[in-house]
Amino acid sequence: MAVKSSIEWTDSTWNAIRGCTPVSPGCKNCYASSVAKRFSGPGLPYEGLVRINAAGERTDDWNGTIKFVEKHLLDPLKWKTPKRIFVNSMSDLFHENVSDEVRDKIFAVMALCPQHTFQILTKRPQAMLNYVLLAEERVREIVAFYSDTWGAHKQAEALGGKWISPQRDSMGRVELEGYFDCIEFKWPMSHVMLGASAENQKYYDERIEDLRIIHDAKWTTFLSLEPLLGPINVEYSPSYYPDGPPMCCNGTDCGCRGLPVEPPMVYAADWVIVGGESGHDARPMQSSWASDIQRACARWNIPYFFKQQGMWVDAGHEEFGKLPAGRMAYYDSQGNIVPKCDPRLADENADVTTMKWVGRKRAGKTLYGKRYHEFPA
Ligand code: SF4
């Protein structure tokens, strides 16, 4: 049976590998590693995947070991109803300890399941890029070799297709591998979405170029800006464009209306997901960061999905009404904490936002009162 997911932008999760290592600040409160800690005792699914501390206790830190869970490899072949499937919610498929052999098998299973939409998300888009540039022939061979053994014929029949037997020449040599007439091997696969995750401008700037090359290679791509820990200029990052977007002229000389002459960086993605962090150690996301990204996506016609505000809200914003007494914290517009002794707190014009902890339910799933649940076409 498919594992139903509580993540709003997907239907089910599929975990044929387990384990990871933190790679950037967005990993600090990794949800997957806290689940792994709970189930890491002897004989449990995550045994051997989390770090043991000096006192011999299991922690919620991954130890870098990756486990291939072969019994789950073929799960999507058994799911007849078309679904959005989040691939590896408990790992990162492009972690350095995942072998290409395992990745090839996972891609081969996806190739055999054209009825689903697969969503692969990584914080290591460079490894994802290197993989998709080189893996096509290997995956094609696995599809041809294993599809019958894996029982893909049942799947193909359920999809209305039939198995075409291998063709042989007069010497009995295989001229053409057997194949399912409803499953056409394509690379890029149109039902597989490749995504990169970034939490602030620094990691956006580092990861977006790899995603752009993947997008230019005609894969469907997405960006997950979650947990959002700082503002991100998704169009023309200041480190790439210190003088702002490159303009053609003043907008009237040539009749260009003042549009930039280069496409925005966010064109690397066909879909953008934004969300604040949840959990007991969650860090705040200022609503203005999420709404700046929403406006940028609207300007360039990129579907935008706002997942959740997190645990904290901007204390002064009317959307949240009168807030109960509770934990407060002060942040500047870049997401840096402003300590209580900072003189900026006494200056009403200072660039300081008061954030209040209200919990996930109260913080909600709307952005300034509006729900954004857009999906790519
Ligand atoms: S990459 Fe993902 S799974 Fe791995 S540690 Fe970071 S948040 Fe967790």
Q: What integer pLDDT is reported at residue 351 of this predicted model?
A: 86
**C-alpha triplet 306, 307, 313: angle, nearest 5°:** 85
Residue with CA closest to ligand 1 atom 7: 27
Its pTM stands at 0.89
Q: What integer pLDDT is reported at residue 340 of this predicted model?
A: 85
Q: What integer pLDDT is reported at residue 173 of this predicted model?
A: 72
Compute the distance between CA of residue 229 and CA of residue 355 in angstroms, rounded to an integer: 13
Q: What integer pLDDT is reported at residue 71 of this predicted model?
A: 93
The two three-digit tokens of residue 220, written as one number: 């469907």
Q: Positive or negative, the Cα torsion across 337, 340, 344, 348?
A: positive
Does the C-beta of 30 come closer than 6 Å to ligand 1? yes
The answer for 363, left when phi > 0, alpha when psi is -120 to 50, beta otherwise, is: alpha
Among 15, 92, 226, 229, which is best to mutate for testing ligand 1, by the most ligand atoms less than 8 A from CB? Answer: 92
Compute the distance between CA of residue 201 and CA of residue 373 in angstroms, rounded to an integer: 23
CA atoms lying within 13 Å on the CB side of residue 172: 0
Of all residues in the chain, the percent with pLDDT exceeding 70 is 90
Compute the distance between CA of residue 240 and CA of residue 210 in angstroms, rounded to an integer: 15
Does the C-beta of 23 come closer than 6 Å to ligand 1? yes
Does the C-beta of 198 come closer than 6 Å to ligand 1? no
Q: Positive or negative, the Cα torsion across 33, 37, 40, 45?
A: negative
Polymer length of the chain:
377
Q: What integer pLDDT is reported at residue 180 of this predicted model?
A: 64
Compute the distance between CA of residue 89 and CA of residue 103 in angstroms, rounded to an integer: 15
Among 18, 24, 27, 93, which is best to mutate for testing ligand 1, by the most ligand atoms less than 8 A from CB? Answer: 27
**DSSP 8-state class, residue 367:** B
Task: Please tell me which residue, 298 or 247, carries the higher pLDDT value.
Answer: 298
Instruction: For 52-66, write each residue's pLDDT tens digit.
Output: 999 989 999 999 999
Asked if residues 92 and 19 have their Cβ atoms less than 8 Å apart, the reply is: no
Instruction: For 26-53, write each residue's pLDDT tens digit.
Output: 999 999 999 999 999 999 999 999 999 9
CA 155 to each of CA 23, 177, 182, 202: distance values in angstroms, whole numbers, following the listed order: 37, 18, 10, 44
Does the C-beta of 196 come closer than 6 Å to ligand 1? no
Does the C-beta of 27 come closer than 6 Å to ligand 1? yes
Task: Please tell me which residue, 5 or 91, carries the higher pLDDT value.
Answer: 91
Q: What integer pLDDT is reported at residue 158 of this predicted model?
A: 67
Instruction: For 163-177, write each residue's pLDDT tens digit.
Output: 666 677 777 776 655
Mean residue pLDDT across the chain: 89
Helix, strand, or coil (residue 373): strand
Q: What integer pLDDT is reported at residue 327 of this predicted model?
A: 84
Does the C-beta of 11 come closer than 6 Å to ligand 1? no
Q: What integer pLDDT is reported at residue 122 of this predicted model?
A: 98
Instruction: For 172-228, write each residue's pLDDT tens digit.
Output: 776 655 566 666 788 999 999 999 999 999 999 999 999 999 999 999 999 999 999
Amino acid identity of residue 48, one-letter, is G
Does the C-beta of 35 come closer than 6 Å to ligand 1? no
Task: Please tell me which residue, 180 or 72, carries the higher pLDDT value.
Answer: 72
Asked if residues 103 and 135 have their Cβ atoms less than 8 Å apart, the reply is: yes
Report the separation in Å between the CA atom of 28 and the middle of ligand 1, taken as the mean of its atom positions: 8
Among 62, 98, 228, which is best to mutate for testing ligand 1, by the most ligand atoms less than 8 A from CB? Answer: 62
Residue with CA closest to ligand 1 atom 6: 27
